[in-house]
Amino acid sequence: MTRSPRLLDIGRFARRSFLALLPLFLACVQAVGAADLPSAVSNALQQANIPVRSIAIVVQAVDGGPPLLSHNACQAMNPASAMKLVTTYAALEMLGPAHTWRTEVLADAGPTNGRINGNVYLRGGGDPKLTLEQFWLLLRQLRSHGVNEISGDLVLDRSAFALSPHDPGEFDNEPLRPYNAGPDALLVNFKSLRLLLQADPSGKTVKVIAETPSDGLRIDNRLSVGRDACGDWREQVKPAVNGLTIELSGTFPAACGERALNLAPWTADVQVEALFRALWRELGGSFSGRVREGRTPAGARPLALQESPALAEIVRDINKYSNNVMARQLFLSLDSERPATTDGARRQVAAWLQASGLQLPELVLDNGSGLSRKARVSAAGLAQLLSAAWQSPVMPELIASLPVAGVDGTLRKRLKNGPTAGRAHLKTGYLEGVRAIAGYLLDNSGKRWIVVGMINDPNARLGKPALDALLLWVANR
């Protein structure tokens, strides 16, 4: 296979950085648990009834040298969303921070007196962030170019990706949760619908407002007002789908006041059709055809184009807020062939790792998001990746994408007080049986460390204090 110029550049970078990565290779070869765990970490594990064999840790200075702490470093573990570090760093290296995606509108012929007498094609390019606003701008372009009426069909072209059927309920039996949405070459608004729930101040009713335009949407509101604390209110609201009707039952605590409920209730075709019909009508356009899936013919005429934000912004959304479907979109985009496939993306990542001199033999990439029971990587493997990223030209973009302790993203409410606040850039991971953190931490002396901690255990949900104790131990050095 002929390597691309980009991979050849990475290979030259790998030769320069090999000596810096060598201590991490050796950490994985050394005996497991070569250093004792800090007492605060051991105590927190003991209180959570998590055995020390269930945690893997690497603490390594960014400028090299022997690891400060290496425990179960080469043990393959499920990293949950910390796997997004592999996907986003690989993407920044392979595609470049300025990479963008294109979504196009084409037609069999141009408009005549504002009317298109034929089909219109909506061709997706795998954009991870074609939001409601971006989709509206695309349709606004079409109107501004003189299109008032579409007499043919709207054809949804998803041919940029070749995917197996996706079951949104397979992972955790929560098919309506947006994080379970599958990738799509024409992913519009994350396949999601946003409802606003408002508890009446009198405590008698719950008002439901559909904030996402959707033609034909009906809300069957059976919610009652709850008297409990707001807490985990999402578990008390029970949504169900019947065609274009969203049924809401259960209780919504009055103490919550107002909350947004995001759902992914429909198949991609239904969701795009409902959104398109509503927005096109709001823009003053008319449409008399069907919405269906198909391919764009070779002679179709371009009418409008929406370009995504740059990859540097995309990876920020993915890592700061742990967006699973965006990560899956990005992972598929790593396959340079079209249509892109999951296997093709895995091959491209494997070639990039080899060219970069990164040795991760235990790595199992499932879908690139970490929302998986199959995904595996070691603490030493993630530490290698972070060490290479520190020396990479894309280091600023990767670090800026990570949640900052006590400040934003998934760490906004965590570690708000103390030496780690504002000084730790970390990707978090959480699944049933899994907790993880991985990233960079600046200690009190101004020295920066790579910190990786992963727990795989039935009691992992209780493991956050142990990982926080690890971060505090490093910060206070």
- Please, where are the H alpha helices in 131-208? 132-144
pLDDT surpasses 60 at 215: yes
- DSSP annotation of 453 reads E
The CATH 3.40.710.10 domain(s) of the chain lie at 5-98+311-475
pLDDT at 35 > cutoff 90: no
- DSSP string over 72-93: STT--B--GGGGHHHHHHHHHH
Tens digits of residue pLDDT in 406-445: 999 999 999 998 899 999 999 999 999 999 999 999 999 9
Q: What angle do CA 266, 246, 208 make, to 5 degrees?
A: 125
**pLDDT tens sequence across 185-207:** 999 999 999 999 999 877 789 99
As annotated, the residues of the chain forming the CATH 3.50.80.20 domain(s) are 102-165+267-307
Lowest-confidence region among 49-58, 203-212, 213-222: 203-212
Q: Where are the alpha helices (DSSP H) in 336-412?
A: 342-356, 379-390, 395-401
Percent of the chain scored above 90 by pLDDT? 90
Give pairs for 267-272: CB < 8 Å, separation 24+. 268/156, 268/158, 268/184, 268/186, 268/187, 268/188, 268/191, 269/156, 269/293, 270/244, 271/188, 271/189, 271/191, 271/193, 271/214, 272/122, 272/156, 272/186, 272/188
33 compared with 363, residue with greater pLDDT? 363
Q: What is the mean pLDDT of residues 363-369?
A: 96
Q: Give me the amino acid identity at 97.
A: P
From 281, 290, 308, 294, select the one nearest 139 (Cα to Cα).
281
**Whether residue 36 has pLDDT greater than 90:** no
Hey, what are 337's tokens?
Answer: 């062939």
CB contact set of 331 (below 8 Å; sequence gap of 6+): 87, 183, 342, 345, 365, 367, 368, 369
* pTM exceeds 0.85 for this model: yes
State the chain's mean pLDDT as an integer: 93
Alpha-carbon gap, residue 409 to 425, rounded angstroms: 10
Residues 291-346 pLDDT 10s: 999 999 999 999 999 999 999 999 999 999 999 999 999 999 999 999 999 999 99
Residue 7 has pLDDT above 70, yes or no: no
CATH architecture of 5-98+311-475: 3-Layer(aba) Sandwich (3.40)
Superfamily of domain 102-165+267-307: D-Ala-D-Ala carboxypeptidase C, peptidase S13 (3.50.80.20)
User: How many CB atoms are closer than 10 A to CB 205?
Assistant: 14
